[in-house]
A and B are shown apart, each in its own frame.
Chain A
Amino acid sequence: QSALTQPASVSGSPGQSITISCTGSSSNVGSYNLVSWYQQYPGKAPKLMIHEVSKRPSGVSNRFSGSKSGNTASLTISGLQAEDEADYYCCSYGGFRRVFGGGTRLTVL
């Protein structure tokens, strides 16, 4: 079982906003502002979209935003576009380890 829990799938129509949750524990998400999010297309390496809960690397669209409350982090994608259809993974530092979520498949309807 994954240390961080994500919904298996979410969907939305173009132009809408969606939020993907990532629930951990006081050992990881709840204790560190070190949550990151990754986008992965089939057969490709993951791409960093958010680091340190809410910071966007250079070149990542401002349609992507991150937040955290307690043991749950969230990734919000606004103004959904067809190109956003991919798998999304959260990751948290957990004290001498990093832990990933199980991944969420985003479908753009």
Chain B
Amino acid sequence: EVQLLESGGGLVQPGGSLRLSCAASGFTYSSHAMSWVRQAPGKGLEWVSAISGSADSTQYADSVKGRFNISRDNSRDTLFLQMNSLRAEDTAIYYCAREWGYSYSFDYWGQGILVTVSS
């Protein structure tokens, strides 16, 4: 059974940093690109970042480029999102999601982790 479990969320002050993790199991992790998708309270979904299975390619939404860094450890089947210079508008539930083949669709999602940026 495919499982994705996020951790590392919480309350952080504006300008601060936070590192999210997503532990994957139940599939060949290195064979799949992975993404982070966020959802601000009461708002829609926003794609944040993606990384290829081999970690040789990364992509970012304009809203986080230069502040967030996506990475993965294929030896530990874990995805990371390093978030720096956090702003109030980064407050959201952050989901990690598995990308399905070359379809650029997300076939499995974690349960989500809340990040709150507030003083």
9 A-B pairs closest in CB distance: A36-B105, A51-B105, A45-B109, A93-B104, A103-B44, A98-B47, A100-B45, A34-B104, A51-B103
* Additional pairs, 13, CB under 8 Å, beyond known A36-B104, A99-B47, A100-B37: A34-B103, A38-B106, A40-B45, A45-B95, A46-B37, A46-B95, A46-B106, A48-B107, A51-B107, A91-B47, A96-B59, A98-B35, A100-B46
A102 at the interface (CB under 8 A from B): yes
- The residues of A with any CB-CB pair to B shorter than 8 Å are 2, 32, 34, 36, 38, 40, 45-48, 51-52, 55, 57, 89, 91, 93, 96-103
Q: Can you list 14 residue pairs at the A/B interface with Cβ under 8 Å? A: A2-B44, A45-B110, A46-B45, A46-B95, A48-B100, A48-B105, A48-B107, A57-B107, A91-B45, A97-B60, A99-B47, A100-B46, A101-B44, A103-B45
Instruction: Please indicate the chain A residues that have their CB under 8 angstroms from the CB of B111 in the complex.
Output: 45
Is there a chain A Cβ closer than 8 Å to B50's Cβ?
A: yes
| Size class of the contact patch on chain B | 20 to 34
Q: Is the interface of A mostly helix, strand, loop or mixed?
A: strand
Contacts of B104 in A (CB 8 A): 32, 34, 36, 93, 98
Indicate if B61 sits at the interface (CB-CB under 8 A): yes
Q: A45-B111, A45-B112 are known contacts. Are A36 and B61 too (CB-CB below 8 A)?
A: no
Interface string of B33-53 (1 = CB under 8 A from A): 001010000001111001000
What's the Cα separation between A51 and B97 when bound, in Å? 14
Q: Shortest CB–CB separation between residue A7 and chain B, in angstroms? A: 13
User: Chain B contacts of A52 at CB under 8 A?
Assistant: 103, 105
A38 touches B47 (CB 8 A): no
